[in-house]
Copies of this chain bind each other. A is one copy, B any other.
């Protein structure tokens, strides 16, 4: 909601996620040859990657590091004016860190922190991906040709972060980004086990779930979308044959109804492949769906028990 009680459309979409890896070569090989991203550039310790229909220069910034987890998360605003409004709101909230000059992928960005210490940025100026000759699509309405390499995901979909206090995020994110809460888990003790947010018609672009350790700023997973559930099934065979650890799936989430597969890239960051079907949140006054602890104990949509590591495993690992 904005000041006048109307829905806020300042932020257009999740733009990119920076992932840290302590096995940069193995991680890069996974993201390019198994997951099917394409490199669009590299600078310093980072390689810039994107899916074949991502229109920006990059949606994944893979950075060599001494550890794993998330570097920062970028959201693209709908206009220069919308960016200014978001910066003003974030500064007023007291969580702003100031302007950054941007990188190979986009122009200046305003950085800020969530209550759990994850680093975010909002920006408008971006470098649009221009396909080189060999990557030009047969049809001009997609960003790059469908190359068919590996899982060949279509576009960045969402990410999931861990937080000590999901309730705090639940208050904070709608104020910072204008996000709507589409679904949430409310435990019997009144706390929130998880919360799903969106800034647009996707059913979610970010989720937060409770970190059951005492760590802060940790990462749960990043997800790219494929066009069909069959692509998720095919991804499972590709991961199986390439020795990629499959954590759980394919199956259908009860929450949000997406069809999913979770794997670990070689450095240990959790990565999802998902398909949402034709489901969108078009309703402007969508009412948050609140799941109870009892409902969650039923497991996923078709009865698969939620795997234990889903509640305990995140990156970086806890010492």
A155 within 8 A of B: yes
Q: Are A225 and B278 CB-contacts (below 8 A) given A141-B257, A201-B202, A246-B302?
A: yes
Instruction: Report how many residues on chain A are interfacial, defined by Cβ distance under 8 Å.
Output: 76
Q: Which residues of B contact A278 (CB under 8 A)?
A: 154-155, 157, 225-227, 275-276
Of the candidate stretches A74-82, A88-96, A211-219, the one touching chain B is: A74-82
Q: Which residues of B contact A237 (CB under 8 A)?
A: 146, 148, 252, 301-302
Q: In whole Å, how far is A185's beta carbon from the nearest beta carbon of chain B?
A: 12
Give complex CA distance A283, B11 in Å: 11
CB closest chain-B residue, reference A255: B141
Contact with B along A228-254 (1 / 0, CB 8 A): 111101101111110000111111101
Pair A283/B55 contact, Cβ less than 8 Å = yes
Give complex CA distance A201, B11 in Å: 13
Q: Which residues of B contact A302 (CB under 8 A)?
A: 236-237, 239-240, 246, 249-250, 261
Pair B279/A227 contact, Cβ less than 8 Å = yes
Q: Could you tell me the dominant secondary structure of chain A's interface residues?
A: loop
**A residues bordering B, Cβ < 8 Å?**
4-7, 9, 12-13, 53, 55, 76-79, 81-82, 137-142, 145-148, 150, 154-155, 157, 183, 200-202, 225-231, 233-234, 236-241, 246-252, 254-257, 259, 261, 275-280, 282-284, 289, 291, 301-304
Q: List 28 A-B contacts (CB under 8 A).
A: A5-B81, A7-B9, A9-B9, A12-B284, A55-B283, A78-B284, A138-B301, A139-B301, A140-B291, A141-B183, A141-B256, A141-B257, A142-B279, A145-B241, A147-B241, A148-B150, A154-B277, A154-B279, A201-B201, A201-B202, A227-B277, A230-B230, A233-B259, A236-B301, A240-B301, A247-B303, A250-B250, A304-B304
